[in-house]
Amino acid sequence: MKNILFVGNSYTYFNDMPTQLFAPMIRRHGDWQVTAVTCGGYHLDQFADSTDPESARLRQTIARRRFDVAVLQDFSLAALVDVQRMDQGLDNIVRLLRDNVEKFILFATWGRKTGCPTLDELGVDSQEMTDIIAAKYAALGKKYNFAVAHVGKAFVEYARQHPEAELYCDDLHHPSPLGSELAARTICNVVLQLYPDAPPRKDTQQP
């Protein structure tokens, strides 16, 4: 059995993505156990802070078993408003997990939907926000030699091909069920790239 751990906030746990959407996908390729430690609005540095209750929960989780993969998702605005905190947070969480995790995947999130007031506050549009996030995660992936699941880019491409599809909730930034399914599929594909001995996928169509 292989074990995979998700660490993130509501962008990860919305629609029960790890357990209800991702787990059935990855289990088509073997015996995978999926665990998630998530908390709304959290930064990765909070999960690494020994005084934080969610960090205590994470430490208890990794004390119980080793993980083949950890999927790490930081605060959705960090790449735009607090890059230093993002850098330090990833460094801290990796130091916490590295003795108990074989491989890491960075979960690069999406820009907020056109019309979200946050875009005006940041002075960017949805595509620009996605590009900034993607570039930051790509740089961190290169620095640590970690794989990156570019979910934000997948959002953009899927919306281009299916303009009628709704990838966002009414709040214009959390994922709809379809958005979470697309996130799960994107991450699943990256996991399978890390484990090339897994059999070929039978369902190659996007959601």
Report the CATH architecture of 2-194: 3-Layer(aba) Sandwich (3.40)
Q: Which two tokens stand for residue 163?
A: 């303009």
Task: Give the separation between CA 181 and CA 186, rounded to whole angstroms.
Answer: 9
Query: What are the backbone dihedrals phi and psi of residue 2, each rounded to the nearest 5 degrees, phi first?
Result: -105, 150
Write down the pTM of the prediction: 0.94
Residue reference for tokens 């996130």: 183
Domain residue spans of the chain: 2-194
Q: What is the pLDDT along the chain (207 residues), one digit of tens a residue?
A: 899 999 999 999 999 999 999 999 999 988 999 999 999 999 999 999 999 999 999 999 999 999 999 999 999 999 999 999 999 999 999 999 999 999 999 999 999 999 999 999 999 999 999 999 999 999 999 999 999 999 999 999 999 999 999 999 999 999 999 999 999 999 999 999 998 765 444 443 444
Task: Give the separation between CA 16 and CA 13, rounded to whole angstroms.
Answer: 5
Task: Give the separation between CA 88 and CA 169, rounded to whole angstroms.
Answer: 30
